[in-house]
Structure 1
């Protein structure tokens, strides 16, 4: 699995702490870290959150993360804060959700306050433009890695033909017809629920027939 260098910070912390204290510290450190490193907005933060939730701390399986991400995309509001709230709630209930959201948004809020006075200078700064140009390929690669992981799971669950067909259909709806992503996600979720229920029912009937003498 991939490991981002900046993510090594605090990975072995919490020695000597009670489990509850360690859970809170890991949650706050993780969300604060993703808020600081997640340059470029919501979509660029998702691979960072996935790395912590699935690989580093194993709060969720990859399948659970994918399902949560799909549902979060169908709801209004910024995707990163919704994911932070869900992870916090799953770990430590309502108090965990509150702490996770605050920890995630606090770094950017403080940075905006500190940099507000220099915004006119920074807007035309060649250094800032160079930083943006340099970090953009990294964000693109991270998004590509996450997309590849989800594509593999789609092919594994649906088969190559159906998986490719669904990807092309999603591309058509989103990029050609400009259907809102939330609508596309809800439609695909509804299809998946009906399809797999029908498949399970058919397999159940076949199993009963085979058992019948």
Structure 2
């Protein structure tokens, strides 16, 4: 990974506050927002670095919604950046949960309140589809069509048919990449 661009604590705070405010649907739905802020908007990380952080974050226990901001904040602004990024992403969620769950429990039988939750699902689906397409394109360019399709089919089979946790699949791929002889990657890129 290359050295990241340094971020001011204020920029980090507002970037992750936006993510916390707009991250409807939880951690996985926040991933495209994190990518938009840290890769496209602020250029603190490259696409490849973001993909690496996402892959490693998915192998570790706990919610991705705090792991990614914590690491990214630490990476671009040290320990204060880690604390600021995590607090900025969770504070809007905490406040919103208290306020909205209070309102929801009081008015849960109103049709438009029930419809609000259902209306968010297609938006999150489109955001996840965009992220999937971005990762597919990166994989296809780095590994080629055949290898990318084979890896996607194998991972899908292990996760959906065998019932293996995605963390084990990602962990196995990371281990395989780490254990691969050094010359192989250079020869494959030629």
Aligned to 1:29: 14
Contact 2:104 2:113 in 1 (8 A): no
Aligned to 1:91: 76
**Residue 110 of structure 1: SS of its match in structure 2?**
helix
CA distance in 1, matches of 2:130, 2:89: 23
Number of aligned residues:
184
Note the alpha carbon deviations across 1:136-177, whole angstroms, 9 max, x for none: 111111100110110111111111111100000010011111
Aligned to 1:128: 113
Aligned to 1:56: 41
**Residue 8 of structure 2: SS of its match in structure 1?**
helix
Gaps of 5+ in 2: 1-5
- Answering whether residue 150 of structure 2 is matched by residue 162 of structure 1, we say no
Aligned to 1:16: none
Question: TM-score of the superposition, structure 2-length normalised?
Answer: 0.89
The verdict on how the C-alpha distance between 1:112 and 1:89 changes in structure 2, with shifts beyond 3 A counting, is same
**Residue 77 of structure 1: SS of its match in structure 2?**
coil
Q: Give, in angstroms, the shift of residue 116 of structure 1.
A: 4.2
The verdict on how the C-alpha distance between 1:181 and 1:95 changes in structure 2, with shifts beyond 3 A counting, is same
Question: TM-score of the superposition, structure 1-length normalised?
Answer: 0.80
CA distance in 2, matches of 1:122, 1:38: 23
Q: Which has the higher contact order (CA 8 A, sep 6+)?
A: 2
The verdict on how the C-alpha distance between 1:78 and 1:126 changes in structure 2, with shifts beyond 3 A counting, is same
**Residue 88 of structure 1: SS of its match in structure 2?**
helix
Equivalent residue in structure 2 for 1:176, among 154, 161, 164: 161
Counting only pairs closer than 5 Å after superposition, residues 1-213 of structure 1 correspond to structure 2 as 23-195=8-180, 197-200=182-185, 203=187
The verdict on how the C-alpha distance between 1:103 and 1:176 changes in structure 2, with shifts beyond 3 A counting, is same
Larger C-alpha radius of gyration, 1 or 2?
1
Q: Give, in angstroms, the shift of residue 132 of structure 1.
A: 2.0
**Residue 60 of structure 2: SS of its match in structure 1?**
coil
CA distance in 1, matches of 2:8, 2:181: 35
**Residue 29 of structure 1: SS of its match in structure 2?**
helix
